[in-house]
Amino acid sequence: MPGSYTLQQFVAELRAVTAGGPQVSAILQQVKPLARRFAASRELRSRCNLQCDERQGFGFQLLHEEPDHTLAVAVLSWLPGRGTPPHDHGTWGVVVGVTGDEVNAFWQRVDDGTRPGYAELRRLSEKTFSPGDAIAITPEIIHSVRNETDRISVSLHVYGRNINFTGRSQFDPERRTVTPWTVVQN
């Protein structure tokens, strides 16, 4: 029964899936249904605090992380009309909508990456994700996220490694810049 699935059970299954270091595609395929199940659980909904950092436009509530910063599980709460710049993660991830909609835009880096601090991006596509929808993210995918509604939206994020420990980047397509990016975690 999805409603009784606990964080402890979810983390135990994540550990089993990632043990032995299978390919990223295999991990994502197995984590996606587990993350959907936990996103629908009573425990997750009881842990959502909906606190947002006004400056960054969203709140990052870390629910679990291994001592070596792997297997990070977090709830992100997005302020209305706010979002992120294009960014990568430097790790695999699965995101599941919990409440509200999120608009994800996907980008491609078109320069060769040899100039420090410089990046050219091309916007590829856009998709709206609703509660229960899941997206699998490989380490090299670049996307941006927006909450275009008038209410806080919430999503469950599962990462192979805490995103503040991956050396990930944010991009400014207009200025053609790339810089390191970490987020404020509650």
In tens, the pLDDT along 63-92 reads 999 999 999 999 999 999 999 999 999 999
Note whether residue 12 is domain-resident: yes
Evaluate whether residue 186 is within a structural domain.
no
The tokens for 118 are: 């410089």
Give the CATH number of the domain where residue 49 resides.
2.60.120.10
The pTM (predicted TM-score) of the whole model is: 0.94
CA distance 155 to 131: 8
pLDDT tens digits for 41-66?
999 988 887 788 899 999 999 999 99
**Residue 96 placed within a domain:** yes
The answer to whether residue 185 is domain-embedded is no
Structural domains in the chain (count): 1
Instruction: Tell me what pLDDT residue 3 has.
Output: 66
Report if residue 83 sits inside a domain. yes
Its domain, for residue 167, covers 2-180
Q: Comparing C-alpha atoms, which of 179, 163, 166 is closest to residue 119?
A: 179
Q: Is residue 79 part of a domain?
A: yes
